[in-house]
Amino acid sequence: MRQFFTVIGGMGTPATESYVRLLNQRTHAHSDQEYLNYILVNDATVPDRTDYILDHSKPSFYPDLLEDIQDQSLLNPEFMVIVCNTAHYFYDQLAAATPIPLLHMPHLAISDMCERFPDEKRVGLIATQGTIQDGIYSHEIETSGREVVLGDQALQDMVTELIYKYVKEKGEVNAALYHRILQRMHDDFNVNVIVLGCTELSFAQEKAGDHPYHVIDAQSIIVDKTIALGKAFRQSEAAGKALLNQMMAR
């Protein structure tokens, strides 16, 4: 297979399924051959990312992802993407372990946010407790010159319930709970833009129906970036590399 990329997923599987479904839908193919070439690694047995970040005595997810990255590197894809925000805790180490470009989902999401909402100076962030603690998104948001708003413990408990009790355990979305989370962040913490820093929250965004809030959906954004890159490489290697260099700039 030529002109392909690799998707490292399985964290969790419903969120990865959502990514792949959006990827195929938004490609707008009119024949089998117009879809993009890719390999999906659904590594569902990767240890829980938040468990390790909060407690380093728990199993680390780094060895599993390192093995996936190194195995896929042997196939020489044009680029790779990890469809899990919290897994970017080890982004620098994983990127250094492969000659294949590895997209940085949080960076691309916040870059997109800055283009769409250039005047917003306070940005809400909802994510796993692991992503909140490791500061992946906070760093990107603050580097862009904006203030990060995290909410309170009660809001974080709601987010954790939605991610673990509903999406991870049941593979379903509690739409009312998701909408309450967005409403509280908007009304109680005075933010107009809310970053979804977890692919399970992106899954909720896809499934929960319409709402009036401005969200930055990192998974939706990485889907669009993946498609743009895949089509650029389909056009020519030079076009693909030029766009990839833009996306990799940090």
Q: What 3-state class would DSSP assign to 42?
A: strand
Residue partners of 61: CB distance under 8 A and separation at least 6:
11, 46, 47, 48, 49, 52, 87, 90
Query: What is the total residue count of the chain?
Result: 250
Q: Which residues pair with 124 in a beta bridge?
A: 149, 194
Q: Is the dihedral of CA 2, 3, 9, 14 positive or negative?
A: negative
Beta bridge partners of 38: 5
Which one is catalytic: 181, 198, 208, 229?
198
What tokens were used for 233?
């490489």
Q: Which two tokens stand for residue 182?
A: 């967005």
Name the catalytic one among 84, 123, 194, 247: 84
Tokens linked to 152: 């309170």
Known active-site residue 84: yes
42 contacts: CB under 8 Å, gap ≥ 6: 9, 10, 13, 16
198 is catalytic: yes
Query: Could you list the active site residues?
Result: 84, 198
